[in-house]
Amino acid sequence: MKEIMGILLRRLVLVIPVVWAVVTLVFLLLHLVPGDPVLAFLGETATPEQVAEMRHRFGLDRPLLEQYVTYWMHVVRGDLGVTFVDRRPVAEKILSRYPATLQLAVAALLVAVTIAIPLGVTAARHQGGVRDAAASLLALLGIALPNFALGPLLILLFSVKLGWLPPSGFGEPAHLVLPAVTLGTALAAILTRLVRTSVLEELRQDYVKTARAKGLDERIVLYRHVLRNGLIPVVTIVGLQFGVLLGGAIITERIFNWPGIGTLTIEAIAARDYPLVQGCLLVIALTYIVVNTATDFLYRVLDPRIKVE
Amino acid sequence: MTMSWTGKIGWGLVIALLAIALLAPHVAPHDIREQDLRVRLQPPSRAHPMGRDEFGRDVLSRLLYGARVSLRVGLTVVAICAGVGTIIGALAGYYGGWTDRIISGFLFNTLLAFPGILLALAMIAFLGPSVGNLILALSIIGWVSYARLIRGQVLKVKELDFVHAARAMGASDARILLRHILPNVVQPLIVQATLGVAGAVLAEASLSFLGLGVQEPMPSWGKMLDSGRAYLTTAPHLVIFPGLAIAVTVLAFNFAGDGLNEWLNPQRPRSIPARARKGG
């Protein structure tokens, strides 16, 4: 237990500078806008008084260092400021959209794992055979076909031609199917290759020979022994890729008009609502850091062979 | 050892794509700006093998010009990333200590704390969309993987006897790095760069799809796909052909990179596909 606390503490210490850098980077992004963010938002027809009033209201007329300190103090309290467009709290807007993105990402993860494990195991069991080649080909297609090409093609097939699933919408389980498959396919492809390699590696181990020599059923050898060990690296990649899914969700959400944080980000960019863009980026990046840290921590706890750096 | 057949196909496609990109103005059958609203969304025909788009423009010609944009962005980004990554990675690996701690401990972790595409999207959102900003944003997120690779390689090579010998003979740090270490770490760099083009092409298409990349009137596969979505039921060819073009290009560079890797290092297992690292 003491050791586990030690691992957790060390992970947390490593995360602090990264979180600091991410918050600083997101703060500085606003000052990257060529010219003035307020002017960019209001447009060229704005009067100097309007610009000055808005700059004052958002604290943009203060010295940079003061703005930075204020930003930090607000972020720590969970206050991400108010939007340019309707002056409502950024955090409130993000919170209302966040669950939809999480739902999509979790569903995509389930799709990926459900496809990848049986496919990867089958490919490894029949190494060099037709099934192995077919699984490899499917995995390659999944990697090569980007989600913004796959999504419309799935809509074309399952909504337009067959009429089985809705092309967009939110709320019903049927609405989730196409977006989850679109977002999960690339991960399924990566995981299939990983499961295959991992299972092949385990199949060569001595304990597998022992289990087979004992006369155990091949399925028990595979699912009780091989898969249990072979899935450890897969768990890590799943964790690390969960954050990537959150990034990829931006595109998938746009294709299916999914009301998540990705759509919110794109809407905010289009409206030049910079505080809202900053808030979205910060929340996605922090989620990514939390999931990565948790995965890394779990990995080290689950597999004592891995030394803590 | 000869290259695997997938590797050969990959390199064949890469060469063909480069030729298309270079010769686009000569091989494109129609003017890409020529509009004719009377024949908009026309399906593929003999005169227009990939049909016409929502403005009546020839899809094949725009696709050929799109290869030019995709590869220009892809190759430029990879060249910048490989260059910057090699310099920073080599310095971190060679000098170690605080230099390494700041570069690999802090800089790498911070940049990797963002899902790659998100950071690029963020920068373009604030800087404004243009090809230059797209290349800048993709380069800023991309160099880390090259720096990590080179750092690891330099750490291994710098402990080898011939490096110690060079140092004993009084060679300067710059000479040891440039003449003795770097030539020995070039192979994995070339493999990663080949795979990296696939990732960069995909990232460019993703951002252009979101309206944050290449702007009109320049054709880009990602943007063609985005505008084609509105006509999915009436003109699916507007989505199918750009989608295929992206998939073939990504596959080609992945095959080429994997083929090269197996050819150069017959013992080493296949690399992770570019997609997995880029996080697109």
Q: What is the ipTM of this complex?
A: 0.81
- Give the burial string for B151-177 (b: 16+ CB within 10 Å, else e): bbbbbebbeeeebeebeeeeeeeeebb
Spans of all domains in chain A: 2-90, 96-302
Q: Does domain A96-302 have CATH number 3.40.50.300?
A: no
Which of A160, A190, A277 minimises the CB distance to B125?
Answer: A277
pLDDT at A167 (0 to 100): 85
Q: Which pLDDT band holds residue B22 (cuts at 50, 70, 90)?
A: very high
pLDDT range class, residue A219, cuts 50, 70, 90:
confident
Smallest Cα distance from A81 to chain B, Å: 18
Chain A contact set for B237 (CB, 8 A)? none
Condensed to tens digits (0 to 9), the pLDDT of residues A73-123 reads 999 999 999 998 888 999 999 999 999 999 999 999 999 999 999 999 889
Interface test with A, best of B117, B126, B127, B201 (most A CBs within 10 A): B126
pLDDT digits (tens, 9 = 90+) for B92-119: 999 888 888 888 877 887 777 777 788 8
Among residues A244, A109, A297, which one has the least CA distance to residue B113?
A: A244
CB-based contacts of B10, cutoff 8 Å, min separation 6: B251, B252, B253, B254, B255, B256, B257, B258, B259
Determine contact, residues B256/B14, Cβ cutoff 8 Å. Answer: yes
Give CA–CA dist B129/B214, Å, rounded: 7
Instruction: Answer yes or no: do B122 and A14 touch at CB < 8 A.
Output: no
Cα three-residue angle A180-B41-B244, rounded to 5 degrees: 45
Which tokens is A139 given? 């995995």
Is it the case that residue A53 has pLDDT exceeding 70? yes
Residue B58 phi, psi (nearest 5): -75, 120
* Residue tagged 């994997």 (tokens): B258
Q: Per the CB < 8 Å rule, is B239 touching A149? A: yes
pTM score of the predicted model: 0.84
pLDDT at B267: 60
The Cα angle at residue A162 between residues A157 and A164, in degrees rounded to 5 = 100
Residue type at A19 in one-letter notation: V
Res A88: pLDDT:
92
Nearest 5°: phi and psi at A227?
A: -65, -35
Map tokens 């759509």 to a residue: A263
pLDDT at A304: 63
A226, A208 contact by CB (below 8 A): yes
Query: Cβ neighbours of residue B92 under 8 Å, at least 6 residues apart?
Result: B99, B100, B103, B104, B147, B151, B154
pLDDT digits (tens, 9 = 90+) for A256-309: 999 999 999 989 988 889 899 999 999 988 888 888 888 877 777 766 665 544
Q: Residue A76: what pLDDT?
A: 92
Q: Cα distance from B275 to chain A (closest Cα, Å)? A: 6
What does the pLDDT look like over A135-160, one tens digit per residue? Answer: 888 888 888 888 888 999 999 899 88
Examine the pLDDT at B276 and tell me if it is beyond 50.
no
In chain B, the residue whose alpha carbon lies closest to the alpha carbon of A277 is: B122
> pLDDT at position A188, please?
92
Contact B243 A153 (CB under 8 A): yes
Taking the C-alpha atoms of residue A124 and residue A132, their distance in angstroms, rounded to an integer, is 7
Helices (H), A126-172: 130-144, 147-154
